[in-house]
Structure 1
Amino acid sequence: MKSIESIPPFIDLFWKQCESTPDRVAVVQDDCSWTYRELRLQSCHIAESLRTAGVLPGDRVGMCVDRSPIAIAAMLGIHLAGAAFVPLDPEYPAERLRFMLEDAEITTLIGHAKYRSLFDADESSTSSEKSIATLNWLEASDLIRAENSSTSPIREDYFKLTGKQLAYVMYTSGSTGNPKGVLINHAALTTYCEADMEVYRLHASDRTLQFSTLTFDIAIEEVFPPLLCGSCVVVRPLERADSANELSHIIDSLRITAVHLATAYWHQWVDLMVATGSRVPKSLRLMVVTGEKVSVDHYRRWQTICDHDVLWCNAYGPTEATVTATVFVPEADFAGANMPIGKPLPGYSAAIFDKDLAEVSVGETGQLFIGGPALADGYLNRPELTHAAFIERPSSHGEIQRWYRSGDIARWMDDGNIDFGGRVDHQIKLGSYRIEPGEIEAALTSISEVKEALVTAESMDGQTTLLAHIGLGADRLPTNSLNKEASSELPATAARIAKHLREKLPPYMVPTRFVFVESFPKTINGKIDRESLPDSSHAVVAREESLVEPQSDLQRQLCEIWSSVLQVPQIGIDDDFFLLGGSSLLVTQVVARVKNQLGLELPVRDFFANPTIELAARHIQAMLGDESKTADEATAAIQSQRDRLPVMEAFFLPSGAHDLFAVHYSPPSRQTRRNRAVVLCHAYGHEYARSYRNLQQLAVHLAQQGFDVLRFDYAGTGNSHGNALEASPHVMMKNIRDVSNWMRQRHELDSVSLIGIRLGATLAACSAATGINQRLLWDPVFCGETFLQNLDQLHAKTLTNEVRFARPRESSSIDQAYGTRLNHVVRRQLSQLKLDLNESQDAPATTLLLSQDYEVPGIDDSPSSITGSVIQMDDEIGWDRPELNESAFSSPGAIRHITQLLVDKLDGGSAIEVQS
C-alpha cells in the first residue's frame, strides 16, 4: 500500500494531462466549451486572482456557484493557490451557510452575484454574523479570462502541494445539531481518481455527465477522474429540457457515455423509461449507481430496456472514504435476491469486525470498516467525532492500520463480495444524502413550543420520507391527542414548525409529516420507547391554509397521483408539491404516472413551473387544447369555491376545570345566517377516528346552509386539555351542557340543536342540557355494558391478530378498551349508561338515524314504542364488524337527512317520520 507522502496531488497529474492533450475538449456546457489548454489557463487565472485577494496556502475558500465550467476551473484554481475548496449550496438556509463559513474559517468566497444576498449581514446581526460583512467576495463571472495567453503557464509558478495537504471540505449532516465538515486530502483524492479510472475503464473518448449538485460528492466522481484521462466533462444544461424524460434527452442529445446517479434518482429514471416506453440511450456505456441500496427489481427492469452492452456498477462509499470504497459489477446471469456492494477499489481495503474489533468469518455479520490512503483526515473542529469514527488497529503482521467505522452492517459472501445489511445506528439514507436525525431534532427543539423531538425514516412503496414526532408538553397538547382530529390547529402548528426548519436546514432535511404528542413514552432506563410511539397514521402534513378539494375529474386524478407519490392522504388543489415533501426525484415519478394513467407526456420542466394541482391541471388542459377557461376565469372559479367555504375558528372553551378544544363554523359571508346553532357531539374511542371526518364534512355543509356549527372534543380526548382517565361519561355530559350554553349565549339564541353519533348521541340524550329544541341521534349506544364488551373483544382480537402484527401481542396491565384508556370509574359509568327514548312531553324533539345494518332492540318489533321519529338510512357503516373497525366511512345519506330535518324544523315544515 502506498504511503500518503508518495502519492502525487491530483493537480500535478491534471497538469501533465493538459500538456499531453492540450487541444482535447475538457469541459462543455451549452455554448461554452474549453479545451484542456483553456481550462488550465482559466484555473491559473483564478489562482492568481485568489493570491491577489490575499488567499494563502492552507486557507479554505468557499464556493457558492452553480454547476458550470467556471465551477470546475474554480476548484482547480483553488488547488493551484495551495488552498482547499468548500462547496456551499445556495439552496441551504442562510443560517446554515453562515455556520459553515465560520466553522471552516472561510474569509474568501467565489460566488454568483445572485447568491450574494445569502451572505449579507444586517445591522441587527450578532457579532459573529457581522463577521460575514468582512467576507472577501469574488464574483465568479469576473474570474473568467476573456483572452487566451500565447504563453503557457509554468507549474513552478504556483504552489507546490503534497499528498498530506487538504484538497476540499465536504459538509455532511451532523448528529450534534450542526453539519460536520469531512476533510479530504490530496493523496485521498488521487487514490480515488486512479481507482475510479481503472474500475470504470475510463478512456479519452468518454463524455461524462456532470449532473449532481456540487455539495454532494458524486460531483467529485463526475469531474476529477475524467480530467485525468483526457476525456470530456459535460455539465448539465442550464435550461430544463422540453421532454417528459429529461435525463434520456440530455444523454441522447449530448452523446453522453458515462452517468453517475444516486440510487433513488436511478430508480425513478428506470420507472420513467418503462412508463414512457423508451430504451436506455445508445450512447451510454457506463452506468454507476450509488448512495443507497439498489432495488433488484429495478435492475431487472433495466435489463429489459437496455439493448446494448453497458458497464453497470453498484457503488458504495461514504464521504469519509472519498466518494466510493467498493463496487459490484453483476455478471450477465446475476440472479441474486439482494444487490451486493462488491469488493474494495484498488488502493482501498475493507474489513468486517465484531463489537470487539475482531474479524468475523465469511457469512457472519458485523460492522463494515474501510481502510487505505483514501480515508479522510477526520472532521473539521470535531476531534471527539474523529476519534470515534477513525480507529487504529494492528494487522496480523503487526502493522498499525487506520480504519473508518462506516456504521453499516455487512457480511462477506463466499465469492468475496460484500453484502450490505443496513445501519447500526439511526442514521437515515434519503436519496443521495446521509442524514443524522440528531441534527434535525436539535433544530426542532430550538423552537420554543417543541419540548421533545424524534425524527425517523418511513418507507412506503419504495419511497423514504422523514417523519417527526413532536412532544409539545401538557400545556399545549393533552395526553390522548392521537385521535387524528383533523382540525386546523395541528396542520397550522406543523406549518409553523416546517417554516422554522426551512430557515435552518436544507430542503431535503425538513420532515414531510408530523406526529404530535404531549410527551414521549420512556423505557425503564429513561430512554425513548420508540415502539410505543404513535405511528404515521396519526401524522399531519404542514399546511398553512385550509384544504381546497378538487373540482374536476382531472384535478381529482392528479390529487390521487400526488397522494400516492407523496404518501400524503389528502391533497388540496392549492398545496405546493415541494412544500409537501416533493423533490426532483419524485417529480419524475409523478410524470411517469401521468403518462401511465392519463396517456400524457408532461415535461419535467413544466411540472416545476406548475407545482400545484390547480396550476398543473390548467397547464395540462392547455396542452390538450382545452383552453375554455382563461387564467382569470380559472382564478375566479377557485375564488368562488373559497367563498363557499365557512369561516372556521379554532379555540378553547372552559368546562369546569378543563379547556375544551372547539372549532366554530360560521356561515360563508354571502350566505344568509339562520337564527339557529348546532352542536356536534363526537363518538368515543376508536369510533371517534372512524367518524370524525363525517362530522367535519357535516359541519361544513350545515354552515353553508346558514347554521352556526360547533364541534368540540370532550375533556381528556382529542385536542382538549385533561387526561384520558378523566373522560368519564359524567364529565362528557357536563361538557355538552357547557358547550350548548356557550353557543346559546354567544349567538343570543333561545335554543340549540344537538347532533350526536354513537356514544356522543347517547351522551347528548342523557346530558339534560337546557335550551335544546332538537336532538338528532345517529346510531346511538343503547347499552353501555354491551358497548364496552364490544370494545374489549375488538381490543383482544387486535392484539393477537398476526395479520396486523408480526407476532401476537399480549395485553398490558393498563386497563384499555379498543381505542381508549380506562380506569374503574370510567368503566363503571360507561357500563351503567342506558338510553331510554320514552321521554316526557316537554323533552326536545328526538329523531333516530339508523344506518343500514344497525340493530336496536325494540325497533324492529315495535317502532311506535319509541318517542320521536326513526329514519332508516341506506348508509352501511358496520360498527361491530371487526374487518371495518379501523375504516373511515362515507355517509351522504345522514348528511342529507340531517340537513332536511334542521331546515324543515326551522322553516316550519313537517318533520320526516319513519322511513324505510
Structure 2
Amino acid sequence: MTADARVPGPAAAADGEPGTLHRWFAHQAALRGEAVAVTGPDGQLTYAALERDANRLAHHLRSLGVGPEVPVAVCMERTTGLVTALLAVLKAGGAYVPVDPASPAERRAFLLADAGAAVLVTDRADGPAGAAATVVTGPGGTDLSGYPATAPSDGGALPANLAYVIYTSGSTGTPKGVMVEHRQVTALLTGTRGRFGFGPDDVWSMFSSAAFDVSVWELWGALLHGGRLVVVPDDTRRSPQDFHALLHRERVTVLNQTPAAFRQLVRYEEESLERGVKPAGLALRVVVFAGEALPPETLRPWLDRLGDSCPELVNMYGITETTVHSTYRRMTAADLASPASMIGEALDGWSLRVIGPDGVEAPAGTPGELYVGGAGVARGYLGRPALTAERFLPDPDAAVPGARRYRSGDGARRSAEGGDHAYLGRLDHQVKIRGHRIEPGEIEHALARHPAVRDAVVAVDRDTAGDPRLVAYWVPVAAGAGDAADASDLREHLTRTLPAYMLPNLFVVLDRLPLTVNGKVDRRALPAPEAVRPDLATGFAAPAGPVEEALAGIWAELLAVDRVGRDDDFFELGGHSMLATRAAAVAKERLGVPVTLRMLFDRPTVRELASGLEDLLAARHDDTDEGTA
C-alpha cells in the first residue's frame, strides 16, 4: 500500500496540538466501521462494535463521576473486553490504571489505594477491593444496554490530561505510578509514523500485559492506525509453539518482543528444523525489540536463516517515564560484530544527552548517564513530588519554557558518528528481566519482613540459556533458623505481595553477607548460585524409575545443578517460565509424550510430573496393544 493510501492520524485540535487517544480512535471507527478492530480468545469486535460498546460503558462511568484526571482501575483478563474497558475509561475523560489480575491480592489493593481509584472496572467477582464503585463487565455483570451507543461528552479532556498511570518497581519497597498524558502517547505515534508506515493492513499482537508499558504501543499503535489487534491469551504467551501458531494463523505483521521472548521463538523454529519439520510461514514485516538490552549476537540464528530485510528488525530503547520508546535502531547483519546493545538515535520530537559525572555532556565515545528529553517525558510520579523533582529535571536544551528531561539511571555512549548510541546497562542495581523493570530493593524489603530472615540481598546472574534470573541470598536470624524457613516458605511469603515476575528463581542461604571495607554489601563477592546447592524444602531423594531419571537429567542439564532429586521443585531449583518452556520441549522430544508447559506448572516436582507422564505412557501403550491385537 502506498503511503498516501494510509489512514491519516489524529485531526489537529483547535490549539494545533494532536487530539486525545479516544478522539483519534473515533476518527478511525468512522472510517473503518466494519473492519475488525480486535481479536481475542472470546471472539472479535469491529471498529463500529468496539466504538459502540466503549461508548455505553463510558456513559456509565460518567454517571459514577469519572472525568478528566480521575483514575479508574481496570483489572481484567486478556480478552476483547479489556480493550473495550481501557477505551471506555478514556472516552469518559478519565485515566486508566491497569491492574494485573494475576498479581497478589495485597498488591492489587495497594495499587487501587495508591492511585486513589474512585472506580474499578473488572470481569472478576473477586476483583480487588478499595474502590468506591465497582463495574463488573460481561455476562451477569452491570447492565449497560440502556446507555446510548453514541460517544459521551468527555468532560473537556484535553491532550494535557492524564491518559493512564502505570506502576513500576520501587527501590523503597513499594511500586510507584508513572503519570502519562494523551499528548505524550500521540507524540510517540506521530513521531514514529515515518519510520514504520503503519496502516490498516497491519495486524499487531498484544503480547504484553496491560500493566506493562509496551502494551500502550501495541494497543494504540494498532487501533489508531486502523489496523487489527490480536490479544494473545496467557497460555499462548507462555508457549513458543502456540504463539508461533497464532502468529501464522492471524497473519501478524507487527511483532513486539523482549529479546528473551524472541529467543524462545527462534529456538522453537530451530528445533523444528532439526526434527525435519519446516515451521509455518509468518507474515511479519517488522519485529520491534524493547524492554531489555539486545545483545546483537543473539540475532545471528535468525539473520543467518532469514536475512535482515523481511521482516525488518528494530531495536527501540525506552522507559515508562518517557512513554514506552525513545530511540530507533534498524538492526542488520553488520551489527552482529558489535559487543554492545545499539539503541540508535532519538525519535522525532525526543532528545538524548549522555551526561558525565561532572554534569556536562560527555564527548563522543565516553560513557555517561543517559538523559531523555522531548515530547515523551511523562508528567511525573503520582503522589511523589520529591522523587519527581529528583528524576525529572529542567531541560536546558529545550526551546519550550518549563520543559524537562528524565534522568534515566542508564549508562550509554554516543558514537563518534553522531546520533547512534550504545546502551551500557544500569548505573544502579535496577534490572530488567523479560521486559519488566525490577528494583531488587523492593524484593529485599519484602524478604526482610519474614521473621526468619536477618539479612537479604537480591542479585542477578544468567541461566544456562544466557537469560537473566533473580537470586536471593539470605541470612537466617540465628544459626539453625534456616530449618524454620526454606525456599518454599520464602517463596510463599513473597507471593503475598509481589507479582510472579519479581519472585527470585533461586534462594541461597549464607552464614553472612559479604561486605566491603565501607560496610556495604559486596555484590561482587556473592558466591555463584551453582557453587551452593539451592535451599530446598526437602532433603535429597534419588529419582526412581526411568521416567524420573530422564526428567531429573533434563532439569540438571537446563538448570546447571549437579543433581536433581525426585522431590525437587523445578522453580525452586532456579527455573522460570522460559526455562520451563525449554524443559517441556526437551522432555517431549526425549520421552515421546506430549509434555505441556501447563503440566510443568501444575506438577513442578520430578515425582509429580513423572507420575502424570507415566499415566500417558501407559495409555499410549494400551492403545498400541489394542491396535495390534
Q: Do the two structures share a fold, i.e. TM-score over 0.5? A: yes
What amino acid is aligned across from residue 309 of structure 1 in structure 2?
C
* Cα distance in 1 for residues equivalent to 2:398 and 2:158: 30
- Corresponding position: 1:494 with 2:496: no
For 1:158, the equivalent position in structure 2 comes to 154
Aligned equivalent of 1:649: none
1:32 is aligned, of 37, 43, 46, to 43
Q: Taking structure 1 as reference, are residues 511 and 237 closer, same or farther at Cα in structure 2, changes over 3 Å only?
A: closer
Counterpart CA distance in 2 for 1:239 and 1:267 is 18
Which of 208, 219, 228 matches 2:215? 219
- State the AA in 2 paired with 1:392: P
Where 2:407 maps in the other structure, the secondary structure is: strand
Asked whether the 8 Å contact 1:84–1:167 carries over to 2, the reply is: yes
Deviation at 1:231, TM superposition (A): 0.6
Map 1:381-400 to 2 at 5 A: 381-395=383-397
Deviation at 1:275, TM superposition (A): 1.4
Could you tell me which amino acid in structure 2 is paired with residue 428 of structure 1?
V
Deviation of 1:349 after TM superposition, in Å, equals 1.4
Whole-Å Cα distance in 1 between the matches of residues 378 and 353 of structure 2? 17
* Residues 1:328 and 2:337 are matched in the alignment: no
Any idea what the Cα deviations from partners look like across 1:413-446, whole Å, max 9, x if unmatched? Answer: 2443111111100111211111111111111122
Aligned: 1:459 with 2:462: yes
Q: What secondary structure does 2:542 align onto?
A: coil
Does the residue aligned with 1:90 lie in a helix, a strand or coil?
coil
Task: Report 1:702-781 matches (<5 A).
Answer: none
Look up the equivalent residue of 1:330 and give its one-letter code.
M
The 2-side partners of 1:229 and 1:386 are apart by 33
For residues 525-552 of structure 1, the C-alpha deviation after alignment (integer angstroms, 9 at most, x for no partner) is: 3322334444434545353334442212
**Residues 608 and 24 (structure 1), Cα distance of their counterparts in 2 relative to 1, 3 Å cut:** same
Identity over aligned pairs, percent: 31
* 3-state SS of paired residue (1:98): helix
- Which segment drifts farther, 404-413 or 394-403? 394-403
In structure 2, the partner of 1:349 is 351
Matched position secondary structure for 2:173: coil
Aligned to 2:95: 84
Sort the Cα spacing of 1:302 and 1:34 in 2 relative to 1 into closer, same or farther, 3 A.
same
- Contact 1:457/1:467 (8 A) holds in 2: yes
Alignment correspondent of 1:469: 473
The residue type paired with residue 423 of structure 1 is: R
1:476 is matched by which residue type in structure 2? A
Structure 2: distance between partners of 1:243 and 1:467: 24
Residue 138 (1) aligns with residue 135 (2): yes
Paired residue for 1:434? 437
Residue identity matched to 1:21: R
**Secondary structure, counterpart of 2:390 in structure 1:** helix
Q: Secondary structure at the match of 2:353?
A: strand
SS of the counterpart of 1:226?
helix
Structure-1 residue corresponding to 2:204: 208
The answer to whether the 8 Å contact 2:135/2:142 transfers is: no
Structure with greater contact order relative to length (CA < 8 Å, sep ≥ 6): 2
**1:269–1:588: 8 Å Cα contact kept in structure 2?**
no
1:189 aligns to what SS in structure 2?
A: helix
Q: Which SS does the other structure have where 1:171 is aligned?
A: strand
State yes or no: 1:421 paired with 2:424. yes
Is 1:194 matched up with 2:198? no
Check if 1:409 corresponds to 2:411: yes
The answer as to whether partners of 2:56 and 2:145 remain within 8 angstroms in 1 is no
In the alignment, is residue 75 of structure 1 matched against residue 78 of structure 2?
Answer: no
* Structure-2 residue corresponding to 1:586: 579
2:518 maps to a residue whose letter is: N
Segments of 5+ residues of structure 1 without an aligned counterpart are: 120-131, 479-488, 631-916
String of CA shifts for 1:786-808, please: whole Å, max 9, x gaps: xxxxxxxxxxxxxxxxxxxxxxx
Deviation at 1:292, TM superposition (A): 1.3
CA–CA distance in structure 2, aligned partners of residues 436 and 242 of structure 1: 24
Is residue 20 of structure 2 the alignment partner of residue 9 of structure 1?
Answer: yes
Give the whole-Å Cα distance in 2 for the aligned partners of 1:148 and 1:333. 60
Q: TM-score, normalised by structure 2?
A: 0.87
Aligned length: 602
Q: 1:380 aligns with which of 379, 382, 386?
A: 382
Q: Structure 1 residues 141 and 272, CA, compared in 2 at 3 Å: closer, same or farther?
A: same
Corresponding residue for 1:638?
none
Q: Sort the Cα spacing of 1:396 and 1:376 in 2 relative to 1 into closer, same or farther, 3 A.
A: closer
Report the alpha carbon displacement of residue 628 of structure 1 after superposing the two structures with TM: 6.3
Q: Is the 8 A contact 2:459 2:523 kept in 1?
A: no
After superposition, the C-alpha distances for 1:819-851 in whole angstroms (9 at most, x for unaligned) are: xxxxxxxxxxxxxxxxxxxxxxxxxxxxxxxxx
- Residues 20 and 186 in structure 2, CA contact (< 8 A), matched pair in contact too: yes
C-alpha change, 1:160 and 1:564, in structure 2 (3 Å) is farther
Whole-angstrom distance in 2 between the partners of 1:243 and 1:538 = 31
Separation (CA, whole Å) in 1 of partners of 2:266 and 2:181:
36
Residue type at the aligned position of 1:501: L
Residues in 2 aligned to 1:579 and 1:194: alpha-carbon distance in whole angstroms: 45
The answer to whether the Cα contact below 8 Å between 1:270 and 1:298 also exists between their aligned partners in 2 is no
TM-score when normalising by structure 1: 0.61
Q: Please name the residue that 1:50 is paired with.
A: 61
- Deviation, structure 1 residue 599: 6.7
Shift of 1:621: 4.8
Q: Distance between the aligned counterparts of 2:62 and 2:483, measured in 1?
A: 54
1:573 aligns with 2:573: no
Q: 2:450 aligns with which of 438, 447, 451?
A: 447
- Contact 1:171/1:180 (CA < 8 Å) preserved in 2? yes
Matches for 1:821-832 after TM superposition, within 5 Å: none
Q: Distance in 2 between matches of 1:166 and 1:572?
A: 53
Aligned partners of 2:203 and 2:229 also within 8 Å: yes
Please point out which of 64, 75, 82 is paired with 1:64.
Answer: 75
Q: Is the 8 A contact 2:38 2:45 kept in 1?
A: yes
Partner Cα distance (2:601, 2:111) in 1: 29
- Written as runs of structure 1 = structure 2, the 5 A alignment for 1:314-713 is 314-331=315-332, 333-338=334-339, 339-395=341-397, 401-415=403-417, 416-461=419-464, 462-473=466-477, 475-476=478-479, 489-490=482-483, 492-537=485-530, 539-594=532-587, 602-621=595-614
When structure 1 is superposed on structure 2, of 171-180 and 85-94 the one drifting more is 85-94
- Judge conservation of contact 2:56–2:150 (CA < 8 Å) in 1: no
Q: Which runs of 5+ in 2 are unaligned?
A: 1-11, 624-629
Separation in structure 2 between the aligned mates of residue 79 and residue 304 of structure 1, nearest angstrom: 44
Compared CA separation, residues 588 and 58, structure 1 to 2 (3 A): same
- For 2:60 and 2:187, the matched residues in 1 are separated by 29
CA drift of 1:63 comes to 1.0
- Quote the residue 2:8 is aligned against: none
Q: Sort the Cα spacing of 1:550 and 1:409 in 2 relative to 1 into closer, same or farther, 3 A.
A: same
**For structure 1, which segment, 140-149 or 423-432, has the greater mean C-alpha deviation from structure 2 after superposition?**
140-149
Deviation at 1:113, TM superposition (A): 2.2
Question: Aligned pair in 2 of structure 1 residues 187, 568: CA closer, same or farther (>3 Å)?
Answer: farther
**Contact 2:239–2:581 (8 Å) recurs in 1:** no
Please name the residue that 1:719 is paired with: none
SS of aligned partner of 2:186: helix
Contact 2:530–2:561 (Cα < 8 Å) also in 1: no
Alpha carbons of 1:563 and 1:111: their partners in 2 closer, same or farther (altered >3 Å)? farther
Greater Rg over alpha carbons, structure: 1
- CA 1:521/1:611 → structure 2, altered by over 3 Å: closer, same or farther? closer
Q: Name the SS of the counterpart of 1:113 in structure 2.
A: coil
Range with bigger deviation, 267-276 or 464-473: 464-473
User: Offset at 1:466?
Assistant: 1.2
Check 1:381–1:168 CA distance in 2 against 1; reply closer, same or farther (3 A cut).
same
Task: Tell me the amino acid that sits aligned with residue 293 of structure 1.
Answer: A
